[in-house]
Amino acid sequence: MLSKESKIRVLENFYALDYVFFGEPLREVASCCPLIKEDYLSVKGALLSVFIEMLKLVEHTPDEIEGNVNTSYLREMARESAASARQAAHKVVMTEKARNDIKMELRQTIEEGTEIDIPRLVEERIREKAFSLAVDNLLVARILPESLDMNALNQFEGKIIEDSYKILRDNLSETANLILDSDE
């Protein structure tokens, strides 16, 4: 069973994911395709379900929150945590290792494809990498110091949860990119 504080963190992250990808709530994002937004919400829900299982597995024990938490307070916390996650992701994307990883991915994609818009492909790969890192910072990095058993992720069940998390995180990043691209 999750503590009240863990449940609040899940709700905060529900809002924060939109701020990570779009800088605003999803309902305020202009998009040509409501079905893509619906897909985004489905994947976000699935990702947060896996995140809840991760919280249970690592025995998440955040500091107690005093007082009531309302929607405006949650949204403010979400904006701040999303900004922090984006900033940390930006720092990592700018490292030489991240650049080399992106170059390697680009080479593979170019070798596989025929007609490719290289500048657009570069932009997409950088954005996907930054989004994935930001989501990892938002969801996983924040729970590390607040958990009693992070080694549980190295066990069989933890590896399954982690693999599911990565698949859903990447799918969410791709869907967010589709929304952003449909806005252009």
Q: For residues 65 and 146, which has the higher predicted lDDT (pLDDT)?
A: 146
pLDDT computed for residue 163 by the predictor: 97
pTM attached to this predicted model: 0.89
% of the chain residues with pLDDT over 70: 98
Domain ranges of the chain: 4-82+133-182
pLDDT level of residue 94 (50, 70, 90 thresholds):
confident
Cα separation, 26 vs 117, whole angstroms: 28
Token pair 């990498």 in the structure block, residue: 129
Alpha helices in 96-139 (DSSP H): 96-112, 118-136
pLDDT band at 124 (very low <50, low <70, confident <90, very high): confident
Band of residue 16 on the pLDDT scale cut at 50, 70, 90: very high
Hey, what are 78's tokens?
């979400």
- The model's confidence at residue 98, banded by pLDDT at 50, 70 and 90, is confident
What's the whole-number mean pLDDT along residues 123-143?
91
Q: Once rounded to an integer, what is the mean pLDDT over residues 85-101?
A: 89
Average per-residue pLDDT for the chain:
90
Distance from C-alpha of 165 to C-alpha of 145, rounded to nearest angstrom: 19
Q: What is the pLDDT of residue 129?
A: 87
Lowest mean pLDDT: which of 10-14, 120-124, 164-168? Answer: 120-124
For residue 148, with 0-12 CB atoms within 10 Å meaning exposed, 13-18 middle and 19 or more buried, which class applies?
A: exposed
**What pLDDT was estimated at residue 47?**
98
